[in-house]
Amino acid sequence: MPQLFLILFLLFSVCDEAAKAQTIDLSEILEVHGLAGMSVATRCGSELSLEVHAGFRDIDDGWEVESGTTFRMASISKAVVALAAAKLAEQETLDLSAPLGLYLEDPPFHPSHPEVELTVRHLLTHTSGIRDGSGYSDFLSASYNEIPDVPSLSSVLQTGGAYYTSDMWGAAEPGAYFQYANLNFGVLATVMEAATGLRFDQLMEALLFGPYGLDAGFRVQDLDNIADLAVLYRQVDGQWVPQADHYNGVMPTGPDWSEYLPGTNAVAFSPQGGLRISARDLTQLARLWSTGSALGAEGAPLTLLGPDALGQLQSPQWSYDGSNGNPYYGLFNQWADGLHLAASGMGADEVIPDVAVSPFIGHPGEAYGLISDAYATPGGEWNFVFVTNGKWDGYGSGDASAFYQVEQDVFAALKQDLLTCLAQQVNAPSFAHWHLVGNPRAGDTLLMMAGDFQNTPALRFHLFDATGRKRCEGRVPPNGTPIALPVPPLTPGIHFLTLEGKPGEVSRLAFLVAG
């Protein structure tokens, strides 16, 4: 039987000894799911922890996915825009609670609720009432094709506009109902331009990409090397067919933005989905939205957001109550100021399976055949990015999760990397006043706990073994008494215990079982 060091434990547990299904290894994901290409990167603290790149960024040219491969990350772009908005709010350049009329000469208003002023936060939280209605597509095309004389926002959002359709607004008044809509972030980017006087692409370079040394941009012309950009694919009639970013290594000329007036209509920069960046660089941005600081262009830590601004960025602003929004098949149950709060415990939004971390903060993406995810633990101890530029037979979900099956398999394969990272960053204040004693006995492992329990709140615990498999879970009652708990034999290696109190309050403790 293994000898125990630093052993601990609690009460009212149900120990599950049943073996779980075999996790697909990251190196197998590409083949198992028929992906064109993929990148996965994780960051433990400020350091890159894992990188896997496979398949092709350009199938016709035979160019493989590499660490520097950039992808059009789809809706993860919104999380990055939200990060910039949080910085502007901290600088008091942008007031998230202010009506849009403070920034725009002709602000949009809900035709059915003109007395309710739209705010920046309504846009960030998808509670404005704006919809991607049938007029959105033509408006988007005009915005792309008529630079610098782009159509006004009122042309699609106000009655009588050239692109306005009656389904551009929902029925509920602003602030009352969540409905994810891309156009919210087109309006938001325009507001950010008006607040700063800077063109959206230049603003993002000044706030984020330049200071942190990232090869990124909302225009392909901002990338260092067009040949590094991944083509996005779908399978059509037995062939990989390019859907976006198919440039064959030749930089396109792009439109002339020199005569564009910031604050007019920033939709053509595609703030809702047009960010190109590598998985590796995107982990830096995920670190910013989870810790407020990341390595700058010079290699030293550089703070973007202070504690108050970071706390505001991560705080829930909308939570699904069963009738106050569209949760998108159980995926969107809680939202902060532009960030998705996944693993909420409120729906089918689990990220890393059987790990008591809540919420995971970030955003998913999907467009033109691409699927992407970027999420971080609440304290920023660990984050990950997954992106694929196409799947041969399309995407399907399992019954247990609103994420696609390929995402679920990637998440499961990353669990051990997460657990190992958290074990290196032990931070468990809830354990501080407990005396935890190892007491091995024949046939099993006995974990004992004693100490001051007078003010101990009701907690849930989860115990994971060295392989990342959950072995026990249960509840510690408030003001408990010293107890001893038998658990199944543990294999040698690092094991991991979590205590979960109020939502978002998770304490972690690692311990070692030596052979």
Rg of the chain (C-alpha set): 24
Q: Provide the whole-model pTM.
A: 0.81
422 residue type, one letter: L
Residues 408-451 have pLDDT tens digits of 999 999 999 998 888 776 433 344 444 334 433 333 454 544 44
Lowest-pLDDT range of 14-18, 332-336, 374-378: 14-18
**Helical ranges in 354-458 per DSSP H:** 405-413, 415-423
CA-nearest of 332, 333, 287 to 310 is 287
Q: Which residues contact residue 433 at a Cβ distance below 8 angstroms, ignoring those fewer than 6 apart? A: 451, 452
Q: What is the spatial distance between Cα 95 and Cα 262, in angstroms, rounded to a whole number?
A: 18
Nearest 5 degrees, angle CA 340-CA 27-CA 472?
Answer: 60
Could you report the per-residue pLDDT of 367-390, keeping only the tens digit for each?
A: 999 999 999 998 899 999 999 999
Please check the confidence at residue 1 and state whether its pLDDT lies above 60.
Answer: no
**Averaged over 176-196, what is the pLDDT?**
98
Please report, as a single letter, which amino acid is at residue 311: G
Distance, CA of 60 to chain centre: 31
Torsion angle of C-alpha atoms 152, 154, 157, 160, degrees rounded to 10? -120
pLDDT in the model for residue 23: 65
Q: Which of 428, 486, 495, 492 is nearest to 459 (CA)?
A: 428
Q: Average pLDDT of the chain?
A: 86
Q: Name the packing angle between helices 76-90 and 307-314 (round to 10°).
A: 140
Q: Are strands 276-278 and 334-335 parallel, antiparallel or unpaired?
A: unpaired
Domains along the sequence of the chain with CATH: 3-20+423-514 (2.60.40.10), 35-392 (3.40.710.10)
Largest CA distance in the chain: 80
Token reading at 315: 């705080």
pLDDT value for 13: 34
